[in-house]
Amino acid sequence: MGKPSFLLFFTHAFVFMVSGILARTIQDEGSILGANSTRRGLHTACEATNKIDKCWRCKPDWAQNRQLLADCALGFAKGTTGGKGGEIYEVTDPSDDDAVNPKPGTLRCGVTQNRPLWIIFKKDMTITLKHELVMTGDKTIDGRGACVQIANGAGITIMKVKNVIIHGIHIHHIKETPGGVIKDSDTHSGPRAKSDGDGICIFGSSKIWIDHCTLDHGADGLIDVTMGGTDVTISNCIFNDHDKVMLLGVGNELEMNMKVTVAYNKFGCGCVQRLPRCRCGFTHVVNNDYDKWQMYAIGGTDKPTILSQGNRFMAPDDKQYKQVTRRAEATEAEWKTWNWKSEHDILLNGAFFIPSGGNIQHPPGMLEVETKIPVETLTRCAGLLKCTPGQPC
């Protein structure tokens, strides 16, 4: 009788052990299958598709390490760190009641401080600026984790400063607003003329990175870079429903050495012209998706150098506006000397690009063109991202 009891005990123990191993194996395989399912898109998945996004996206701890974003700028703005190393400043109040003595917790109070700050937002909010928002340098406006809109009032002015990042903001329905005395630093407030209604005006400033913003419906330009602005990258943005979208330079001597990268953006519904329009300087237009502009895509005046690489140009159906390029205020003999080149561009629905000039010297810091991944994939996540703390963005 002893031996059978021993055998029965041994058998039960063996079965229990095997069952545990099988259970753990099934659990582990389930985890693996779950991960694979996420990658296959059966669950909510994150997939960074371009070189900028691969630097920071799809990391679940992004909210605990926000300032790592500052290591991700490419193109001519590479090295822009914004408010990295500074304190986190949280916007809790969407009001803009006093342009001279802004309340603590407002966006204006944050951007006018004379120290590096990483500015975030406590909750979803729409900020209607009564006067243009004049920023100091060494700032990051980081809208991740909230739906932040700057709308129905003035826009943002980045004037004669360095090192600014604007990320994850929806800027729309910007209006002309009256001038007045406006604070522009901890120690200075001064008179400002009426604002023109630009979404973002980059004036005489350098190392500026605009990324993952959505911009539409403005009184003037959505983004302008003028009066010596340089080392600027505009990336991963969506532009919609606007006439004169982006102006790079006004023909001033200060702009002869201007360098701007326009990369991974989507120019979509209702964009008419200036995608961008360039005066002077060097503009690198790389891996953008153009969808049926209404007049032209890339324009220029005053002998700019334009290198268009790896873009997708879908022409409008109107036969009159199939040409990607437009030169203005110059005779044919003049504009034929301007260096405009198209390389690896995809021209659809009758789109055509008229090149001119000779060889283009590539300045340091250019973003490398991507030719193996479709532009639609590179720009798939352009514009505002839905970012939830604790989850991949």
- Considering the candidates 274, 279, 326, 327, report the single residue annotated as catalytic: 274
- Structure-block tokens of residue 160: 């004669």
What distance in Å separates the CA atoms of residue 103 and residue 110, rounded to the nearest whole number? 9
Burial (CB < 10 A; 0-12, 13-18, 19+), residue 12, is: exposed
Can you name the residues that pair with 100 across neighbouring β-strands?
none
What distance in Å separates the CA atoms of residue 177 and residue 150, rounded to the nearest whole number? 14
- Structure-block tokens of residue 228: 């010596």
CB 274 within 8 A of CB 246: yes
Q: How far is CA 330 from CA 253, 326, 338, 341, in A?
A: 18, 11, 10, 18
HEC-encoded secondary structure of 187-207 = CCEEEECCECCCCEEEECCEE
Q: Which residues of 234-269 are buried (b: 16+ CB within 10 A; e: fewer)?
A: bbbbbbbbbbbbbbbbeeeebbbebbbbbbbbbbbe
Is residue 162 helix, strand or coil?
Answer: strand
Residues 6+ apart with CB under 8 A from 27: none
Residues 6+ apart with CB under 8 A from 132: 154, 155, 156, 157, 177, 182, 192, 195, 201
Residues 6+ apart with CB under 8 A from 326: 273, 295, 296, 298, 299, 300
Instruction: Specify the pairing of strand 282-286 against strand 200-203.
Output: unpaired
Residues 6+ apart with CB under 8 A from 105: 90, 91, 92, 93
Q: Is 274 a catalytic residue?
A: yes
What distance in Å separates the CA atoms of residue 327 and residue 338, rounded to the nearest whole number? 10
Residue carrying structure tokens 């300032």:
67
CB 147 within 8 A of CB 171: no
Catalytic residues: 274
